Amino acid sequence: MKTYQELANTVIISTKKNRLLDYDDSLELVGTGRSAFAFRIKYSNKAIKIFFPDFIHVAKEEAEIYNTLQNISYFPTIYESGQNYIVMDFIEGRTLYDCINHGVSITTDHINEIDAALLTASNRGLNPSDIHLRNIIITPNQEIKLIDVARFRQTKDCTQWHDLKLVYHQLYLKRFFPKKIPTTMLNIMAFLYKKHLLPSYLSSSKIG
């Protein structure tokens, strides 16, 4: 089997528009973010995150933050990192975004567990930031996992999780509020928020 470094070297990303050109057959593409592609390493419980050429500096930052969070059950274990990659647990489950998109219930227990995860990170000297529904996962065992922690050391205050909870308590829990929202509607909400045409507690940039 190839080493993690060798697997990372098989991932070819175009420097123009960060298009994925090629990768090893033992990798399965499972996600595309703002700074990286995420792959599951087949026949294992591990994932490898490969950063775009313009974002390789984020790999070091995120690896250091994950190391700070080790042995906290809410965050994946990190196994190795390199110049442009991180190897960590592959987390089975649905993101909160997927839950809303497919009508899967998000409970108050889930929200309380997310609060506990963020408090634990704060107690490690971090400043949890950029918390949105795509980086919070509910596992098949109803456990909470958080990923994409690259902004957990920024110094400015981030209200994203606060705003999400406002949406949850003031709208989502209401009987009239739809528990299943199509992607198109979520994207429209995100666009309107970025144009400052929605109040902050309706922010789909927080939802997305």
Enzyme catalytic residues? 130
Distance CA 157, CA 122 (A): 13
User: Phi/psi at 75 (nearest 5 deg)?
Assistant: -125, 150
Compute CA distances 41 → 2, 13, 36, 90, whole Å.
Answer: 11, 18, 15, 8
Residue 13 has φ and ψ, to the nearest 5°, of: -120, 125
Rounded to whole angstroms, the Cα distance separating 30 from 160 reads 25
Q: Do the Cβ atoms of 172 and 133 come closer than 8 Å?
A: no
From CA 24, how far away is CA 138, in angstroms rounded?
29
Neighbours of 65 (CB within 10 A): 20
To the nearest 10°, report the CA torsion of 162, 158, 154, 64: 30
